Amino acid sequence: MTDILKPRDAKEVEDAVKWALGNDKTLELLGHGSKRALGRPCQTDITLDLSGLSGVTLYEPAELVLSAKAGTPLADIEALLDKNNQQLDFEPMDFGPLLGNTAGQDTLGGAIATNLSGPRRLKAGAARDHFLGVTAVTGRGETIKSGGRVVKNVTGYDMCKVLAGSWGTLAAMTDITIKVLPKPETEATVVVEGLDDERACAAMSAAMGSSCDVSAAAHLPDHVASYFDGLPRPEAATVLRLEGVAPSVAHRKETLAALMKPFGPVALLDDANSKALWRSVRQVKPFAVSQERPLWRISTAPGKGFEVAAAITPAAQMFYDWGGGLIWVAMPFADEPDAGSIRRAVGDLGGHATLIRAPAALRASVAVFEPQSAGLAALSKRVKDGFDPKGLLNPGRMWAGV
């Protein structure tokens, strides 16, 4: 049985890490566990439950800044922001349903540690781009600070960046400061119907290259379209979201619809349907219905999206986000993620693939994260050793030995 430690404040987190260090114990860092089944399974002696570190400690809407303890539920933060007509512009995905958990279980720390970014990522940036400051306990049992509460800051190395997306392998974050932004007054989605993947990538590229300021662009092929909410018809849909003040959205909707006409029939979604649609994209809905199929998430050059997809077995189900640059791929057989073919497809065209869902035994035996070049892997290991020389924190979660 694994022991669980549940510190109540940042000082107790430091104490816990120091104790683990002195007793050669390894630690699994946990918020609410919504993404626990993601990454390589770690075998640790102790679970460090950080959900006791909860609460917003600073929120100044006019300064666009919010600080909260790492275990604060994201849902609480989003509700607070909503009251002030603000939002997390990186639009974090909700992996809960995808991994067999309920929706809305993420913590702020979990979202930052996994650099969890949703459809607006292609316009507004990833979680890491909104991460301003941090207090964290390294694997040395030392509490460090980096960044601050201001947007513009180049004082010292940008340690926030390396902690975002480090999956808890470098430090246990205790306090997090992020940039928040105004919520758009309204939104609408332009839908281009019936496109094949290649044509859809061209349409998304034309839309993103226009001055319509598209805030999300996805292509939902025929075979998965019926799972998404808000679409006019359960057919292949290339969907382009516009957000902003009402007169601007109205104007851009017209412009973009005209630009998309040559690609195929165009339909328009109003605010409510648009919101429903993108919520279902954010929850990767077609692949959350059942947890059977191994699921990959591929990031590639958007113009290459359809080529990467074409190199993968036609029995796979997939859809595109980020203008074609993010591909969700569900493989046909439960016990066969077919890492070889995915890695080849991505390797030939550039980018990286992450195995988001597969049975634990498979995640232990195939690389979950994209294997790195020898040079990058060695450098990453040296960075890890700087923070956590004993390999105390989430050992092996990203790579074996790291």
Partner 1 sequence: MSVRMPEPDGAVLARRAQIVKALRTMVPGEGVIASEREMKPFETDGLTAYHQLPMVVVLPETTEQVSLVLAYCHAEGIKVVPRGAGTSLSGGALPLADGVLLGMAKFNKIKNIDFDNRVAVVEPGVTNLAVSTAVAHAGFYYAPDPSSQIACTIGGNVAENSGGVHCLKYGMTTNNVLGCEIVLITGEVLRIGGKHLDSEGYDLLGLIIGSEGLLGVVTEVTVRLLKKPETARAVLVGFPSSEDAGECVSTIIGSGIIPGGMEMMDGPAIKAAEAFVHAGYPLDVEALLIVELDGPGTEVDYLIARVEKIARDCRAVSVKVSNSEQERLLFWAGRKAAFPAVGRISPDYYCMDGTIPRAQLPLVLKRMKELSVKYGLSVANVFHAGDGNLHPLILYDSNKPGELDRAESFGSDILRLCVEVGGVLTGEHGVGVEKRDLMPVMFSEIDLAAQQRVKCAFDAKGLLNPGKVFPVLHRCAELGRMHISGGKLPFPDIPRF
Query: Closest approach of Cβ 277 to partner 1, in Å?
Result: 21
Site membership for partner 1, residue 83 (CB under 8 A) = no
Site membership for partner 1, residue 145 (CB under 8 A) = yes
33, 165, 347, 359: residue in contact with partner 1 (rule CB under 8 A): 165
Instruction: Report how many residues bind partner 1 under the rule CB under 8 A.
Output: 108
76, 185, 198, 307: residue in contact with partner 1 (rule CB under 8 A): 185
Structure tokens at 97: 């349903």
Quote the CA–CA distance of 142 and 291 in Å, as a whole number.
39
Which of the residues 320 through 339 are near partner 1 (CB under 8 A)?
A: 322, 325-326
Site membership for partner 1, residue 143 (CB under 8 A) = yes
Quote the CA–CA distance of 354 and 319 in Å, as a whole number.
15
Q: Do the Cβ atoms of 356 and 38 come closer than 8 Å? A: yes
Query: Closest approach of Cβ 257 to partner 1, in Å?
Result: 14
> 3-class DSSP state for residue 378?
helix
Which of the residues 111 through 130 are near partner 1 (CB under 8 A)?
A: 115, 117, 121-122, 125-126, 128-129
66, 158, 334, 347: residue in contact with partner 1 (rule CB under 8 A): 158
Inter-CA distances, 98 with 157, 171, 288, 366, Å: 35, 26, 4, 20
194: left (phi over 0), alpha (psi -120 to 50) or beta: left
> Which amino acid is residue 344, in one-letter code?
R
> Which amino acid is residue 261, in one-letter code?
K
43, 100, 223, 245: residue in contact with partner 1 (rule CB under 8 A): 245
Site membership for partner 1, residue 154 (CB under 8 A) = yes
Q: Which residues pair with 11 in a beta bridge?
A: none
Burial 126-135 (b: 16+ CB within 10 A, else e): bbbbbbbbbb
59, 311, 370, 391: residue in contact with partner 1 (rule CB under 8 A): 370
For 139-185, where are the E strands, in sequence order? 143-147, 171-179, 181-182
Query: Closest approach of Cβ 63 to partner 1, in Å?
Result: 6
39, 73, 302, 395: residue in contact with partner 1 (rule CB under 8 A): 302
Based on CB atoms, which residue is closest to partner 1, 278 or 322?
A: 322
